[in-house]
Amino acid sequence: MRAKRSTLIHLIYFSRLNLAADAPSRTRQIGEITRQAQKKNEFSVITSFLIIDQNFAAQIIEGERASVSDTFGRISNDPRHRDVQIVEWREILKREFVNSFTTGVRGPVNDGLFQKANLLPMFQRGTPKGAAIHGLAVNLQAESMTKQGIDHLFV
């Protein structure tokens, strides 16, 4: 008999970032978060995608139940953001994100995808939909993989 796989879940939350207003400091702070998160997520076999639109953040965290729970426990206590709210938490059959930690920051290159998802008004009302966050993250990942020429590996 095949061994039962441990339970995979994904957790989606959103928050308001407490980052610096000037672009260079903000980029440096996002770089620091990325370095910490990549290392920890690799160790815990977590895959994730973080969306940043103005001062709003939304992240999808995938992995084994206990690892996701530990990771989210740390993230929710981080003073670099506030008003951390869970949007969705459920079992999944397979992972959808390929990296331990990728960030999609809204900018000129990907603005079309952000506009299509239209998350900003939902963030402002405090009611972003899990499906909208998830859809945008999947599209941002797909666009970035196409640019790198590796999209055929992940169909």
Ligand X SMILES: Cc1cc2nc3c(=O)[nH]c(=O)nc-3n(C[C@H](O)[C@H](O)[C@H](O)COP(=O)(O)O)c2cc1C
Residue showing tokens 């008003």: 83
Residue 51 pairs with which residues in a beta bridge?
A: 58, 104
| Stretch near ligand X under the rule CB under 6 A, chosen from 77-85, 117-125, 134-142, 147-155 | 77-85
* Residue 107 or 149 having the CB closest to ligand X: 107
Of 36, 115, 124, 146, the residue at the interface with ligand X (CB under 6 A) is 36
Q: How many whole angstroms separate alpha carbon 10 and alpha carbon 130?
A: 11
Total site size for ligand X, rule CB under 6 A = 17
Q: Are 3 and 66 in contact (CB under 8 A)?
A: no
Coil, helix or strand for 17? strand
Q: Give the binding site for ligand X (CB under 6 A).
A: 33, 36-37, 40-41, 48, 50, 57, 59, 61, 71, 74-75, 78, 80-81, 101
